[in-house]
Structure 1
Amino acid sequence: MLAALLALALFVVPTAAATIPEIRGPVTDETGVLAGDEAEIEQAIEELLQRQRVQLWVVFVPTTDDLSAQEFAAGVAAGNSLGVNDALLLVAIEDRTDTIWVADGLEEITDAEIDEVIETALEPRLADGNFGAAVVATAEGLGEAAATTDATLPPVRTADPAATPPAGGGFEGPGNEPDGGGSVLLPLVLIVGGVGLVAWWLMGRRRVKREAEERDRRTGRLARDANALLIATDERVRDARQEIGFVEAEYGEAEVGPLRTAVDEAREALRGAFAIRQRLDDAEPETPDQREAMLNEVVAHCRTAGAALDRETARIQALRDLERDAPTILERLPGRIAAVEARLPAARTAFDALARFASSTRQPVVGNLEEARKGLDGALHATERGRSALAAGNRRAAGREARTAEQGLTGATALLDAVDRLATAAGDAESRIADELREAEADLAAARSATSDSEPSKSSESRLTAAATAVRHAREAA
C-alpha cells in the first residue's frame, strides 16, 4: 500500500497547486482576453487543420501557479488525451509566460521552428496586447513549419479531446483494510512522510527547472541582441571610415583628426567584441553564467564603439548644419555682437568697484575686459569675412567664418559674465559682513551690560577687550 500511495503522490503533487483545464473546444479562454476574436481564431485553426492536418488547441489561463508553462502544458495535454496530430498553445496572462506543445506525431515541426514561432509570431503580439492576432499568427507559423517537409502526415483527428477521458488508476481505500488499531499508525506515518519527501523533491526540481528555463530564455534574448548589435556596429564603423574622406575634403585635417581618433577607438572596441564572439563559437563550452557574462561583454564593447562614433557624428553634423544655416547666422551676428558690446561699460564699472576689496579678490577676472574686447572684434571681422564668402558663393567658407564668429562671441560673453558674478558675490559678502559686525557689537554691549553691576574678573575683562579690538579692526578693514 505504501508503494502505491507514493506512486500516486508522484502523479498528484506536481499539479496539486494548479488546476488543469478541461478542453471542450478549439479555444479555452479562462481569462476573457480573446472575447470577440473567437471566430477569426477558429477560422485560422480550421485552415491549419485542413491544409496541414495539424489540430491546434488554444488554452489561455490566468496563471499556472507553481508550475512552469511547459509543465502545465504537458499536464493539459495528458489530462485531455492529446496526441497524434495535436498541438497546444498555452498562454498564462498574469504570469506572462507561454509555450507551444506538439505531439510526437508532428515530428516535422522541429524545436527550432517552435522557438521561431514563439519569438516572431506569438510573443511580440502578446507584448502589444494583440492576443487574438497572436493566436492567429501562431497558427499560421505552425502551418508554415509543418509545410517545410514532405513527411507523411497522420490522419486528421477530429474527436473532441473531452470525449476521451484520461486514463485513471485506483487504489484500495481504507475501508478495505483490516482494522488493526495501532498497527495502522506506523504505515500512515510512513505514507505521510513519504508523500512529504516526494513533494519536497518535486518542488525543488520545478524550481531548478524554472530557473534554468528563465536563464536560457534570458540568455537567448541577450544572444540575439548582442549579435544584432555586433552587426550594426560593424556597419557603423565601415560607414565612419568612409566618412573620413568626405570630412577631410569638406573641412580639412583640423576637423577630420578627431573623427579618425574616434574611428580607431571604435575599431578597437569592435575587435574586442568579435574576439569574445569567436570564443563563444569555439569548441570549448562555457557554463551558462560564463556565456551570459561574455554576451554582456560583447554588448558593452559595441556600446563603447557606438558612443565614440556618436560623439563625432554629432560634431560633424553640427558643422554641416552651421554651413547650411550660415546665411541666417551671419545676418544675426552683428546685432548679437552689438548687444554684448553694450555690456562693456557696466562690466568696467563692476570691475573698478572691486578695487575696494583686497587685490586677491579681483585677481581671477583681471584682463577679462580686454580679452572680451578682442573676442568681439574677432567675431565682427569673421562676420564680415563670412558675408564676403557668401557673396562669392562659397557657403563652406561662410560656415567656417560663422563658427569663428560664434566662438568669439561666446567667449566674450563668458568673460563678462565672470566679472558680473564676482562683483555680485563680493557685494553680497560685504553686506553679510556689515550685518555680522553689527551683531558682534550688540553682543559685546550686552556682555558689558551684564557685568556692569559687579566687578568683572581680570580674565573676563581681558576677553571683552580683545573681542572689542577684533570687531574694531574688522570694521576698519571692511
Structure 2
Amino acid sequence: MSVLKVRVVLLLAVLFALLPVAPAGAEPPERIGPHVLDRANALDTAGSDRVNAAVDNLYGNHQVRLWVVYVRDFDGMAPQSWAERTAALSGFGSRDLLLAVATEDRAYWFDGELPSGLSAGELDDVLAERVEPELRAARWAGAGVAAADGIDGALRGGGVSPVGLVIVVVLVVAAAAGLVVWSRVRRKRRRAAELAAARTLDPDNVAAFGALSLETLHARSREVLVELDDAIRTSGEELEIATGEFGATATTPFRAALDSARQAASRAFQIRQQLDDAVPETPDEQRTLLLELLGTVGGADRELDGRVEEFDAMRDLLLNGGARLDALTRDLVELTGAVPGAEAELARLAGTYPASTLISVQGNVAAARERITFGERAIDAGRAALARPVGEQGEAVAAIRTAEAALGQARTLLGAIATAAADIASARAGLSAALAELRADLETAAGLAAHGGPPLADARTAAQAALTGAEAAAESDPLGAFRAVVRADGELDRVIAAATEHRRAEEELRGRLEHALTAARGQIAAAGDFVGTRRGAVDAQARTRLSEAQRRLDEAQRLAAGDPAAALENARAAAELGGTALRAAQADVQRWEASRAPSGGSRAGAVLGGILVEGLLRGAAGGGGGYRPRSYGGSSGSRRIGRGGRF
C-alpha cells in the first residue's frame, strides 16, 4: 500500500473517531416527512406498500391524514409524550392522526383529534380488536393497515352493506315490508349523517344550519346544551379553586367570561324550554328559535375557550405542584374524617323520615366515598409524576385537576346531606304558619262559594285534602307536608283571586312569598347538587328544566320588592320546575346505571360525576393508557384523543 493511501486511511479513522456517537436504538421525536416512516426497519417493500396504500385510501375517502411511524424505542420518554412531541414538531392539525409504534419497547400510542363521525368507543374497538393483535404478533405492516382500514370502516358506518341488509329483510318479511324497513333505515342513516355534519359546522354559519332539517336542529340543540352546561359547571369548579389561590381581582376576567356564558346558557335553555312546553310553534318559528339557540351556545363556548390559555398560564399547576398536592392531601384527610358524621346524619334522617324526603341525597355517602378514593389515587399519581425528571412531569397537571374535581364533588355530596337536614328543619319551623295560612284561605274560599263556581269548589276540595294529609304527615315528613301545603295554597290563592277583587294584606302576601322562595331554593339546590355530581349521565331535558327553574327563581327575587304577587307566581313555578328537573335527572341516572357493567368502582363514579369524559379510560389498566379530566373552558376541546399502551 502506498504512503499516500496509508495517510488517507489514517485521516479518515481520526475523523470518524471525532464524530459524536448516538445511543444505540435511541429514537428521539422528529419532524415526520413521509406518511409512513420506518426507523426500525420493521417493514419490507411489500409491507411498506400495503401501509401506504391503506393510508392513501383513508385520505381519499375521508380527507383524514394518518401518519404511521415505526421506531425501535421512544428514547426513554412516555409513549404519550413522544407522540405529542412528534406531532408538535410535525405541525399536525385537526385532520392529522399519528400511530407511533416502538417495536423493541413493545409499546405504541395513537394521537390526534377524533374525526367527525368517529366516536371514542369506535376508536377503542379499532385499536383493541384490530391493531393490538397485529402488534402482539409483530405483524408491523398489518398494524398500520388495520389502523387505516379500521378508521375508514368506522367513518363509513362500519361497512354495513345496504344490499346485504335488503337481502336479510327480504328473507325475513315480505317484499313490501322489506321495502318499508329499508326506507326507515335509510332515513335513519341520513339523519345520523346530517347530525354528524351539523357537529362540524361553525355556529355562526347560519346559512348552513338553516339548510338542515328541523329534526337535526332539535337533536343538535340538545347536544350543545349538555356540552355547554358541562363546560360551565367544570369551569366554575376550576374558577372557584383559582379564586381561592389568586384572589378575586386576578380572576376577574375569567369570572366575567363565565358569567357571560351562564347568561347565554340561561337564554339557550329558556329557548329549549319554550320549544318543549305545551304551546306549539310553527316550523318557521321553531327554526328561528333553534338557530338563535345554536348561535347563543356557540358564542358562549367561544368566550370560554378564548380565556383558556390565559387561565392555564395563570394557574400553572407544575410551578407549585408539591404544595398543591399537600393541600389536596389535607382536604382528603378532612373529607375522609367527615364521612362517618355524614353517614350517621343520613342514617338518622332515614330512620325518621320517609325515603321520598331524602331521595336527592340517599346515595351521597357512597358517591362521596367513590370520589374520595378516586381523588386519593389521583394525588398518588400526581406525586409519582412530579418525581420524574423535568420535562416528563406533564401528567401531574391532569392528576391535580382530577383530584381537585373529585374532592370538590365529595365536599358537595357530603354538604348536601347537611343542607337536606337544614331544609327539613326549616320546613318543620315554617309548617305551622303555612298550615294556618291554608286554613285561613279555606275560610275565605267558603265565604266566596256563591261567586267562585265549580273551579273554586274543586280548589277547596283539593286544598282540604292537602291540609288533612299535611297534618297527618307533619311529624313523619315535615318537608313533604310543607311543600304540599305551599302548592295547595298557591292553587287556592289563584282561584280566590279570580272569584273576588279582595287583595291580601301585604304582610300575608310576603309571608307566602317567603315560604314559596324557601321551597323553590331548596328544590333547586337539591336538583342542582344532584345534576352537578352526576352530570356524566344527565341529559338536556333535566338541565333545561333546572335552568328554567333558576331563571324563574331569579325573577321572583328580582320582583319581590316591587311586585310580590308576580314574584310569588315565579317562585312557585320555580319550585315545580326544580322538582321536574330532579325527577328527570334521576331517570337519566337510572338509565345510565342500567346500561353499565355491574363492576362500578371509583372511575365509574368519576365518569358519572363528569370528572372524566366517557370513552377516555381504555388502556389505563394496561399500563400505558391515560385519561383526561375536564378543565376550565368550552366543550370544543373534548374531541382530543390519546390511546395506547403495552402490547
TM-score (norm 1): 0.31
Larger Rg: 1
